Structure 1
Amino acid sequence: MAKQHSEQVALGPLVGLRVVEVGQLLAGPFCGQMLGDMGADVIKIEDPQKGDPLRQWGRDLPQGQSLWWSVVGRNKKSVTLNLRESEGQELARKLMSSADIVVENFRPGTMERWGLGYEDLQATNPGLIMVRVSGFGQDGPYSQRAGYGAIGEAMGGLRYVVGDPSTPPSRVGISIGDTLAALFATIGALAALREREVSGRGQIVDSSIYEAVLGVMESLVPEWQIAGYQRERTGAVLPNVAPSNVYPTKEGDWILIAANQDTVFTRLARLMGQPELAEDPDYATHGARGKRQAALDNIIAEYTSTRSSDELEALLAEHGVPAGRIFRPADMFTDPQYLARSSIVTVEHPVLGGVSMQNVFPRLSRTTGTVRWPGPALGQHTEEVLAEIGVSAGDLAALRERGLS
């Protein structure tokens, strides 16, 4: 059973920090999610009419509820303000005047046009950290271009190397460009918080999607510059690193085995009842195995296809060979490692009941974060939050009548 979380009290290392999030979709909001997961008080400002478009995204919208939003919006307070109007901008400015961090992922210049640029906000809040996530960064000739995650993945070098060599460049099955930019944005925000302890001053964290993707591309750049080597699409393998591939099991499932190190390959060969492979000059060394990668994969596949997934997984673990089954959600709900660490938690949703989702990562030994609530209803916390800056119930009613909140 997944562990039930119902805490409403914030826990985690960022308790006491206030974050105002004015981004939408994923690149900015995922940064806000991570900060909220770690205990920060995250106030998400949304358009009064439709809110974050992510509320309408996802394959299934049971009872009109986006499951994607329930994850990315978790631990946040939703406040509706029309930032295209001066009154909405002024209220946002008041909220940001007491914030530690502002997260935004609009096209560069948008916040400035609304009077919410960094210089505007820093005038009354010199310690403010503004996290700015965009496709191409805040400057440079491409900065004003529309920049979605997919474009950053393409221009950062990832798309070219993903997929089978017989097909055009593929995509990873998640919005990896957006989430990488958010991860770098979060790291930058935490680094800026640390520096603020020394200087007392805030600063801008500029996280671009294409550079976040580029940042995880390993040695792609010097391989081309120094060796003239261009990485290509290679499907499930890395060229010259063998064996490291997915292999079929008896019932038609797949298991990934990574036994490319010499000592590990020796253990795999013994497990398969073919210890002589580890002594064969064709397979005895890393270089030799890499040259005969396809032939070696065929030998291993012949063996794995005679064993059930459970049997094979147990044998590999017993012999110290790194391996893992290709998981789908159904596997995650029953896997003992997932269960032991509560990697998936169930959170109460006011409409859907218990909604299962990934837990907070990474874990901290003393002050780990929690999932306190799923993505809130649009404007659910408007009255509560605006009351803190002096907006009365009557003022709020007038704002709503004019479509400003």
Structure 2
Amino acid sequence: MTCDNNKPMGPLAGVKVLEMGTLIAGPFCSRMLAEFGAEVIKIEAPDGGDPLRHWRVLKDGTSLWWSVQARNKKSITLNLKTEEAQEIARRLALDADIIIENYRPGVLEKWRLGYEDLRAINPATIMVRLSGYGQTGPMRDLPGFGAIGESMGGLRYVSGHPDRPPVRVGISIGDSVAALHGVIGAMMALRHRDVSGGRWNGKSGDDLVAGQGQMVDVALYESVFNLMESLVPEFDFAGVVRERTGGALPGIVPSNTYTTSEGESIVIAGNGDAIFHRLMLAIDRADLAHDHSLQRNDGRVPRTAEIDAAIQAWCDTQTIDQALVSLRAADVPVGKIYSVRDMMSDAQFQARDMFEQHEFADGAKLKIPAISPKLSETPGKTRWLGPALGAHTEQVLAELGYTDAQIQAFKEQQII
């Protein structure tokens, strides 16, 4: 695949996306579309831009995270508190295939940029709306970050050890899961629009049939809730409330985290029936391997503590490298818990080209994650790292038809 900064290629080449969002959920959603060829125009406030520009580790005042989260995007600045900027945003929205936003419900409506406002003009409008609680319901107007979505969606309750308070995953998983739901919803809506007519071209006439757009309503707590496996039916049918179980996977035995002789943690997943048999032989517990009552998972669950104790007793005699070699030879799923240092030196990561190296303008080099998933014919590509604030404002406005004089006036009036 070949491309340059002006002609993106990929499965989404030709798709225009307008991003009106900050921080994680909305921007991660549009980031994935940009990675696979969509033209993404990101609107930022002139006075500082997206707050994520200043999060975590910085280089020259800008977040290293920004390099990844905003790669391939065009940044324009608009002061959306002004009517002139709202009109520019409206023109951009009506020209877009997909609009992605993560304001609180009601904010875009206040600016006459809501879904119903745009759909009245362009019936092919697709708007992905990411919010804490969704666009309806008694909690719709409350602020909701990923941490709250993880809590309300059930993830926090089952995370951690049973004798301690719930813990969080070490990343903003609620936001990222919501973003992935947004991407899936956008792709399904785009498919429906195309098979029901096609892209609206801004003109009228009986011979022009616009496809049917729609709103994709993504709530952070619902996105987390969607991952919660058998939580609901188990409670509804049997009154079972899943609780925290530390490193173990409840009701699926054995699957746990164990400690080797050097004090390092190792994850062993021997919960398949045939795998359990091989695991027990590998740890010299033929008695358990041939115990008929342990041949299926439902027989192993009541003896979870006994099985875990047998595995831990074996791990006490093994270094982590010895354990990995032995269990892999027995075809048992096993792995050490990687830090980023482990990832950067790992042969599997290297063989899969999971890192890209880029240069800043000053020549400093930076490695970033490569793009997933891997498509065989139309893979994603990093065309440029996260741009400077407003780097594409003049270009985008000119493409909308604004003159140099108008753009200069917008600057003087602090509209852009």
Measured in 1, the distance between the counterparts of 2:391 and 2:262 equals 49
2:72–2:384 Cα contact (<8 Å) kept: yes
Structure 1 unaligned segments of length 5 or more: list them: none
Normalising by structure 1, report the TM-score.
0.94
1:156 corresponds to which of 129, 153, 157: 153
Measured in 2, the distance between the counterparts of 1:156 and 1:365 equals 35
1:142 pairs with 2:139 = yes
**1:302 to 1:158, Cα distance in 2 relative to 1, 3 A:** same
1:156–1:210 Cα contact (<8 Å) kept: yes
Measured in 2, the distance between the counterparts of 1:250 and 1:395 equals 71
Residue in 1 that maps onto 2:337: 326
Structure 2 unaligned segments of length 5 or more: list them: 197-210
Measured in 1, the distance between the counterparts of 2:227 and 2:125 equals 28
Residue in 2 that maps onto 1:264: 275
1:198 pairs with 2:209 = no
Higher mean Cα deviation, 273-282 or 74-83?
Answer: 273-282
SS in 2 for 1:235: coil
Residue in 2 that maps onto 1:36: 34
**1:55 to 1:91, Cα distance in 2 relative to 1, 3 A:** same
Measured in 2, the distance between the counterparts of 1:256 and 1:287 equals 21
1:213 pairs with 2:224 = yes
Q: Which amino acid aligns with 1:220?
A: L
Residue in 1 that maps onto 2:383: 372
How big is the shift at 1:161? 1.0
How big is the shift at 1:151? 1.3
Q: RCO higher in 1 or 2 (8 Å CA, sep ≥ 6)?
A: 1
1:21 pairs with 2:19 = yes
1:349–1:373 Cα contact (<8 Å) kept: no
1:181–1:207 Cα contact (<8 Å) kept: yes
How big is the shift at 1:350? 2.9
Higher mean Cα deviation, 92-101 or 296-305?
Answer: 296-305
SS in 2 for 1:206: strand
Residue in 1 that maps onto 2:61: 64
2:80 corresponds to which of 63, 79, 83: 83
Superposed CA offset, 1:227-265 (max 9, x none): 111011111112332221112233332221100122111
Residue in 2 that maps onto 1:187: 184
Measured in 2, the distance between the counterparts of 1:173 and 1:257 equals 21
2:193–2:212 Cα contact (<8 Å) kept: yes
Residue in 1 that maps onto 2:103: 106
Note the aligned Cα RMSD (angstroms): 1.9
Q: Which amino acid aligns with 1:315?
A: S
Q: Matched residue pairs, number? A: 400
1:240–1:291 Cα contact (<8 Å) kept: no
1:354 pairs with 2:365 = yes
Measured in 2, the distance between the counterparts of 1:339 and 1:11 equals 25
1:276 corresponds to which of 283, 287, 309: 287
Q: Which amino acid aligns with 1:302?
A: A
Measured in 2, the distance between the counterparts of 1:33 and 1:300 equals 43
1:43–1:77 Cα contact (<8 Å) kept: yes
Identity of aligned residues (%): 50
Residue in 2 that maps onto 1:290: 301
1:277–1:284 Cα contact (<8 Å) kept: no
1:74 pairs with 2:85 = no
Residue in 2 that maps onto 1:95: 92
2:99–2:127 Cα contact (<8 Å) kept: yes
How big is the shift at 1:188? 0.7
Q: Which amino acid aligns with 1:268?
A: L
Measured in 2, the distance between the counterparts of 1:35 and 1:141 equals 32
Measured in 2, the distance between the counterparts of 1:385 and 1:355 equals 28
Measured in 2, the distance between the counterparts of 1:384 and 1:7 equals 16
2:280–2:289 Cα contact (<8 Å) kept: yes
1:6–1:348 Cα contact (<8 Å) kept: no
Query: For residues 301-340 of structure 1, what are the structure 2 equivalents within 5 Å?
Result: 301-340=312-351
Measured in 1, the distance between the counterparts of 2:296 and 2:188 equals 43
How big is the shift at 1:215? 0.9
Superposed CA offset, 1:29-76 (max 9, x none): 111111111110000000001101111111x21321202212211111
Q: Which amino acid aligns with 2:229?
A: E
Q: Which amino acid aligns with 1:233?
A: R
How big is the shift at 1:346? 2.1
Higher mean Cα deviation, 246-255 or 343-352?
Answer: 343-352
2:74–2:387 Cα contact (<8 Å) kept: yes
SS in 1 for 2:60: helix
How big is the shift at 1:282? 6.8
Measured in 1, the distance between the counterparts of 2:230 and 2:254 equals 21
Residue in 2 that maps onto 1:245: 256
